[in-house]
Amino acid sequence: MSKACICKPSEIMLFACSGGGSNVGQIANNAALEITKEGKAKMYCLAGLGGHVPGIIEAAKQAKKIIVIDGCPVLCAKKMVEHVGLKVDELIVITDENIEKTPGVFDIKNEDIEKIKNLIEIKINRAVEEAPEKG
């Protein structure tokens, strides 16, 4: 089989931790949201995985690539995705990118969102170049 990837943006799913107790959770959320708005991948329902919602888990299983964006090393989103038996293909941890975690959700800088968006795009490009081997 050809190694050319057939991933479409809708087949690359983004799960952001979207944590409500810190800046980094909301940077994850905003970056994933903007990438989705730009049509480059599809943000999906992390809470639905945690809630064991069958339709959401089934839809997530159809993803060819799963990219997780976690705010910090607690890795809530990664754990949630793995908890339902799905594989994380690419992981971004925002505090690994020289962005400090601070309490409260309002300390969000556009430059930090842009930085994480750029990283997501690198992961998307990698996914598009690789063969989709999920199964």
Question: Which parts of this chain interact with ligand SF4 (CB under 6 A)?
Answer: 17, 19, 21-22, 24-25, 70-72, 74-76
Query: Between residues 24 and 63, which has the closer beta carbon with respect to ligand SF4?
Result: 24
Give CA–CA dist 13/57, Å, rounded.
Answer: 12
Query: Nearer to ligand SF4 by C-beta: 75 or 84?
Result: 75
Nearer to ligand SF4, 35 or 77 (CB): 77
Q: How far is the CB of 74 from ligand SF4 (least distance, A)?
A: 4
Buried b (16+ CB within 10 A) or exposed e, 22-43: bbbbbbbbbbbbbbbeeebbbb
CB of 70 to ligand SF4, least distance (A): 4
Burial of 49 (0-12, 13-18, 19+ CB in 10 A): buried
